[in-house]
A and B are shown apart, each in its own frame.
Chain A
Amino acid sequence: MRTLGLYIHIPFCQQKCNYCDFYSFSATDKAKEDYINALCTHIEMEADCYKDCEFDTVYIGGGTPSILDPLLIERLGLAIKKHLKLTQGAEFSIEINPGTLTEEKLHSYKKIGVNRLSIGLQSTDDKLLFMLGRIHSLKDFEASYYLARKNGFDNISLDLMYSLPNQTKEDFLRTLKKAISYKPEHISAYCLKIEENTQFGKIKDILVLPNEDEEYETYLDLVDTLEKNGYSQYEISNFSKEGRRSRHNMKYWLSNEYVALGPSAHSFFNGKRYSYNPSVQEYVDSIQNGIAPKKQFEEENRYSLSKIDEYVMLRMRLSDGVSCEEFKGLFGKNLLCEYPRLEEFVAQGYVSCKNGAYSFTPKGFFVSNYILTEILSF
């Protein structure tokens, strides 16, 4: 049977982090409830489209999904189970912001089948956490983490950020080692990018940020440290213990299908990419009026990137890279004939060729956009 991923966006936060430009904001209890009700109705409305599909991953992301009351999360979980088919052993993740988690919430997660937690730790340095605008301290995180373990969650991912203002490479490596010491199953580490419409964007001129070379050194050490501690890199920013990759996130890079619900959520279904407008108001109003929210389809031919280019671009996010054999099977063409310049970058150490697949080396990952614009034919 055809399998799909399901993504559900919870655009609420207690407060907006200083670096964040995703669609999220703080909201009243009433607004949250209206939204969850709308989501449930939306699931019901759409259910028919997926009657021939099974969902093997569910991902509740945000925003801060853990801000939701146990009642609301259960209502959402119930709607998912009632209207959609989940496979046996489906991966079911939810994002947690330390400081919003309670034992009661964990019980609710258990109840609806959540089996993977992604905790936004970001840093183990309280000063940096404060500066990032996070609502938690290291202590809050530890409390949440141990509570989750106590309640039997055995698949936990930690999110970290590096290249933060005033943060040296050594500072970050300390955070990393501390994070490793909790023995999570999965670690994501993202390089801070200053976006225009954020608090950081407003004050970017006075932020003391590491330079490119320091970021590069940090990244290489990050990859190295994690590898040495049993976390292998499977994507630019993602690392896991054996068998603990995020199956949901993998769908993005493997060009597998996923359906996403909620404002600003992006789907890939029936070969088409579409999203919903980033407006909770519009989303809820529409559903309350019995109309499914309008899908904004990625314009046809808007991008000169061909399907093949897109495939290569996405696969190259992964450490497994592009397999020559799979490429030939899919497109009937020889990978090197299509992208002859790959070899050039192999020679320079940015790309490696192992087991019949081309993939970026860590140093290549860090300049992957540059190299992709060189090798892709668009």
Chain B
Amino acid sequence: MNEKQKYIRNFSIIAHIDHGKSTLADRILEYSNAVSKREMEEQLLDNMDLERERGITIKARAVRINYKHKDGQDYVLNLIDTPGHVDFNYEVSRSLNACEGALLVVDSTQGIEAQTLANAYLAVDCDLEIVPVINKIDLPSADVDRARNEIEDVIGIVAEDCPAVSAKVGLNIDQVLDAIVEKIPCPKGDESAPLKCLIFDSHYNAYLGVVVYVRVMDGTLKAGDKIRLMSTGAKYDVVEVGHLSAFGLEKADSISAGEVGYITASIKTVSETRVGDTVTHDENPTNEPLKGFKEALPMVFSGIYPADGAKYNDLRDALDKLKLNDAALSFEPETSIALGFGFRCGFLGLLHMEIIQERLEREFNLDLITTAPSVIYKIEKTNGETVFVDNPSNYPSPDSIATAYEPTVKSSIITPTEYVGGIMDLCQDRRGIFKDMKYLDSQRVELYYTMPLNEIVYDFFDALKSRSKGYASLDYELAGYEPSNLVKLDFLLNGEVVDALTFIVHSEKAYARARRIAEKLKDNISRQLFEIPIQAAIGSKVIARETVRALRKDVLAKCYGGDITRKKKLLEKQKEGKKKMRRLGSVEVTPEAFMAVLKLDDSDK
């Protein structure tokens, strides 16, 4: 270890959603003068609009802070921000691997939540020094002692003298900085060893190409070096290296062991630079890549279609642009008889999916129709072949299936005790297998269930929130494939299958689901001049049916005193509505009706 590394601290901030992680990051930047108040924009680290609005961090960011400690020494603090949501668990773990310590923020009004625990365990797995920080002590309902006790009892780390702060009003932030310097160990890399850098994030810049964010573990890197990405073997010439200031990239001559910085090397897409991959020198490479690299695999799939078929190319361009900065997003063209041309998109999870959909609509001004989220099923066919199905329409016919498998997750739910009954019913209803239950304290319980992912993507999170008045929190991780008795459920309008409505469901739930969706279709399809039969079918067997009766009466407003304008308005309004309709065979359906069918109502929760 050299002198330089002694004064470096690499840390992350981890927390449950809304516990104040980003606000604390802002205060740290402000306090250490990395950013002056005037320059400070609320929540600097979250720089996507959507992140700010939802109060969550979607992608990791990093920033270098120069801090003069009370011991008189100048320290370099590298704050590596992490995404706060379960969908991005892998990214969190990579960010954590770039650090030696983590601030664990706990909201003193809420205590420990599912993601607090999940993130704390991740940090422990990465051998990080965890520094608890109790936040929001300015609020009347703050209970610092309880939060302290929970941290000690539930996570098992000492919290006796941990900082209790209010990031919002900027109270006791100095204690946090002191704790970072005093408690978190400095990095211990070897500057002269072969180069070993961990990629923990990257983003696309129109001028520089991909900017790769790295933590240098061993060795030294400078502009002009030839590097190799170990997972793919791809080689690049480094154009620039530097550090990450609060205002952007700060060019440097070199970056070396213990430091956090960036590399540009004329890389064209972020998917070439995978999070978790190891960067080394092409000549004199390291023997061994860093452990733990895996590709971020999409778990949840959905068809995304432009509401206006003419916008197909716009949608493709938009997805291309999002993909530049989001290696976890996958998409490929898909055609639906009902919805026309669109894309089958893969996401890390439901939140990731919602974020992408929202960004497409907001940033690219697209109206979308999305199909129900689906997962990947593994099918062993009778001919010995194994296939993976991410689009329900492609599900093989039952007689060709030997065994069908569905992905399951290990889930943990933390809830106030009063909602345990309702939540256990819900999990049971969603085919959950009870594993364990732990009392965190007298008021809160952690439940462990193994559950099919297919049930979670089907609005489980909303149902959970609704049953716990918003108090329960959920965390889950993939737990492999289990054999399952699955069926493909088709919906027919006027005798024709609407492919976009097809989904895969456990056979025991098929009837109930079929009936409910058929009813919803009936309620949401406006009457037309002919009667429209709605059928739900497994193969050729119809298991539910409804009928949309024929339209027999329009609004016949009295056209009084020659007010023809009013009549025209009415007709135009009707025509406007009609233009948005999608023709499903001989039946016209509004995109709203289509979406309504996919949403659950209260009776489902």
Contact = CB atoms under 8 A, between A and B. Distances in A.
Interface string A339-378: 0000000001010000000000001001111111110101
A295 interface: no
Given A212-B553, A213-B552, A369 B571 contact: yes
Interface residues on A, range: 35 or more
Interface in A248-306: 251-252, 258, 260, 264-268, 273, 275, 298, 303-305
B558 A237 contact: yes
**SS of A interface (majority):** mixed
Contact of A9 (B527, B561, B567): B561
A313 B571 contact: yes
Contact of A252 (B556, B562, B572, B574): B562
Contacts of A193: 555-558
A97 to B, nearest CB: 15
A36 interface: no
Contact of A369 (B529, B555, B558): B555
Interface string A208-234: 000011011001000000000000000
A106 B121 CA distance: 93
A236 interface: yes
A191 B570 CA distance: 17
B559 interface: yes
A234 B312 CA distance: 48
A352 to B, nearest CB: 16
Contact of B554 (A251, A317, A366): A366
Nearest to B530: A348
Q: Which of B549, B557, B571, B575 has the most CB of A within 10 A?
A: B571
B575 A373 contact: yes
Contacts of A25: none
Interface in A312-340: 313-314, 317
A275 B566 CA distance: 11
Given A252-B559, A378-B575, A273 B553 contact: no
Interface string B541-556: 0000000010111111
B563 interface: yes
Contacts of B570: 369
A22 interface: yes
A291 B186 CA distance: 86
Nearest to B549: A213
Nearest to A61: B561
A275 B564 CA distance: 11
A142 interface: no
A368 B529 CA distance: 11
Contacts of A372: 571
B568 interface: yes
A376 B567 CA distance: 14
B553 A219 contact: yes
Given A193-B556, A252-B562, A367 B551 contact: yes
Contacts of A9: 561
Given A304-B572, A367-B529, A373-B578, A258 B562 contact: yes
Contacts of A190: 556, 558
Interface string A173-216: 00000000000000000110100000000000000000011011
A310 interface: yes
Contacts of B529: 348, 350, 367, 370-371
A298 B578 CA distance: 24
Nearest to B557: A193
B170 to A, nearest CB: 51
Contacts of A268: 562, 564
A367 B575 CA distance: 14
B574 A369 contact: yes
A7 interface: yes
Interface residues on B, range: 20 to 34
B565 A266 contact: yes
Contacts of A264: 561
B571 A366 contact: no
Contacts of A237: 556, 558
Contacts of A219: 553
Contacts of A212: 527, 549, 551-553
A368 B557 contact: no
Nearest to A251: B562
A298 B560 CA distance: 16
Given A366-B554, A368-B554, A273 B561 contact: no
Given A252-B564, A265-B561, A305 B571 contact: yes
A359 B172 CA distance: 81
Interface in B551-605: 551-565, 567-572, 574-575, 578
Given A193-B556, A313-B567, A367-B552, A378 B572 contact: yes
Q: Which of B556, B559, B564 has the most CB of A within 10 A?
A: B556
Contacts of A215: 552-553
Contacts of A251: 562
Contacts of B569: 303
Nearest to A7: B561
Contact of B562 (A7, A304, A310, A350): A7
A64 B427 CA distance: 65
B26 to A, nearest CB: 48
B554 A298 contact: no
Contacts of B571: 305, 313, 369, 372-373, 376
Interface string A37-66: 000000000000000000000000100000
Given A305-B571, A370-B529, A370-B574, A216 B562 contact: no
Nearest to A298: B565
A311 to B, nearest CB: 11
Interface string B286-300: 000000000000000
A174 to B, nearest CB: 21
A273 B561 CA distance: 12
B550 to A, nearest CB: 9
B553 A216 contact: yes
B575 A303 contact: no
Contacts of A236: 556
B392 to A, nearest CB: 33
B561 A370 contact: no
B561 A260 contact: yes
A367 B567 CA distance: 14
A98 B574 CA distance: 37
Contacts of A305: 568, 571-572
A214 B364 CA distance: 47
Contacts of B567: 313
A191 B552 contact: no
A250 to B, nearest CB: 11
Contacts of A313: 567-568, 571
Nearest to A345: B529
A191 B553 CA distance: 10
Interface in B300-353: none
B567 to A, nearest CB: 7
Q: Which of B552, B561, B565 has the most CB of A within 10 A?
A: B561
A267 B561 CA distance: 9
Contacts of A266: 561-565
Given A237-B558, A348-B529, A372-B571, 8 more contacts: A7-B562, A190-B558, A252-B559, A266-B561, A313-B568, A367-B551, A374-B578, A376-B575
14 contacts: A61-B561, A212-B527, A252-B559, A267-B562, A298-B565, A303-B572, A304-B572, A310-B568, A313-B571, A350-B529, A366-B554, A367-B529, A367-B551, A378-B575
Interface of B: 527, 529, 549, 551-565, 567-572, 574-575, 578
Interface of A: 7, 9, 22, 61, 190-191, 193, 212-213, 215-216, 219, 236-237, 251-252, 258, 260, 264-268, 273, 275, 298, 303-305, 310, 313-314, 317, 348, 350, 363, 366-374, 376, 378
Closest 7 CB pairs of A and B: A216-B552, A369-B554, A266-B563, A252-B562, A373-B575, A212-B553, A373-B574
